[in-house]
Structure 1
Amino acid sequence: MATLPAGPARVIRARDDEDLTEFFAPQRTSHTALPDHDPFVRNLTRGVLEVLSGAREVDQLARWLTEDPFRKLVTRANLAARARSARGVPARRPVHAIVSVRHQSPADGVVESVVIVRGAARTRAVALRLEGVDGRWRATSLAVL
């Protein structure tokens, strides 16, 4: 049985592992290779408001969010559910009207949006940062004001 020298084989394997990691890591996508962001922003905003009202499960939005905004949304949805439970208010599907949507693109494959939404009791702003990853939009930041 022949053995290979330990030194060069390890270096080649380490480089191969780095190349594979880089190859399979999330890939940034140019703005031109992505679909229109406006419908995505509007649908994600509606979904987030439905999650906060208890009408939708937060897991349904997991594919649209990166880890940090997903965890923050889970926390906020749990707090909203506890507040509804303490007041004895059932979860209802919210009725919102999107008043305006503003977009800005600070870099290629990045869109920052603010959506103004009017509900029955109040008007809210939803701020989103979208980044093109693996040929689709994903929200990397989310704030509901």
Structure 2
Amino acid sequence: MTMSLTTTSRPMSRRSTQRTTAAAGQGGSDIDVRLVARSIAQAALEVLAGTRPVHQLSRSLDSACYLSLQHRAALTRKHAARSRGTAQPHRSPMVRSVRVCSISEAICEASIVVAEEQRCRAVAMRLERLDGVWQVTALEIG
């Protein structure tokens, strides 16, 4: 699965304003959306690796994203069982970078680069703030 993203260059002063708005939220006391995106991406890849139960993400993902991740994790487990035969030790994926773009006060999009044992992966997500809590409404894992 390939994703492409085209962006236009903006002046530095506008960039810093956008990043502050996306990170701090309305009153500045909200949890940094970059930290939320980072932890959800890490957890989602751990679900796919089989080291974390998917139900731990039930509050962070909307129902469509949750069901999609659950289905993909099941397919990944079946494929791994057929190709490996025996369980191999697994090291946790490491988040290398997080970029956040504020769409509005309550909507952000994030792109995350995650390094695994033998490759790097891209994760893209759309986060929406519902009742003061960030929830993922779109999730793509490359």
* TM-score, L = length of structure 2: 0.75
Using the alignment, how far apart are the partners of 2:90 and 2:107 within structure 1?
Answer: 31
CA contact (8 A) 1:96 1:117 kept: yes
Residue number in structure 2 paired with 1:7: none
Using the alignment, how far apart are the partners of 2:88 and 2:109 within structure 1?
Answer: 30
Using the alignment, how far apart are the partners of 2:33 and 2:105 within structure 1?
Answer: 13
Using the alignment, how far apart are the partners of 1:138 and 1:120 within structure 2?
Answer: 28
1:62-101 CA-to-partner distances (Å, cap 9, x unmatched) read 1100011111101100100101111214275433222211
Q: Any gaps of 5 or more consecutive residues in structure 1?
A: 1-30
Residue number in structure 2 paired with 1:80: 76
Residue number in structure 1 paired with 2:37: 41
- 1:32 has 2:26 as partner: yes
Residue number in structure 2 paired with 1:133: 130
| Letter aligned with residue 123 of structure 1 | C
Distance 1:135 1:102, change over 3 A: same
More helix by share: 1
CA contact (8 A) 2:42 2:94 kept: no
Using the alignment, how far apart are the partners of 2:89 and 2:49 within structure 1?
Answer: 6
Whose Rg is larger?
1
| Letter aligned with residue 68 of structure 1 | A
CA contact (8 A) 1:53 1:94 kept: no
Q: CA RMSD in A?
A: 1.5
Question: Could you tell me the percent identity over the aligned residues?
Answer: 32
Secondary structure of the structure 1 residue equivalent to 2:51: coil
- Matched positions, count: 115
CA contact (8 A) 1:50 1:94 kept: no
Distance 1:114 1:106, change over 3 A: same
Residue number in structure 1 paired with 2:100: 103
Distance 1:82 1:136, change over 3 A: same
Residue number in structure 1 paired with 2:141: 144
1:6-56 CA-to-partner distances (Å, cap 9, x unmatched) read xxxxxxxxxxxxxxxxxxxxxxxxx31542111111111110010000111
Using the alignment, how far apart are the partners of 1:83 and 1:127 within structure 2?
Answer: 24
Q: Any gaps of 5 or more consecutive residues in structure 2?
A: 1-24
1:94-139 CA-to-partner distances (Å, cap 9, x unmatched) read 3322221111011121110000111111110000110000111000
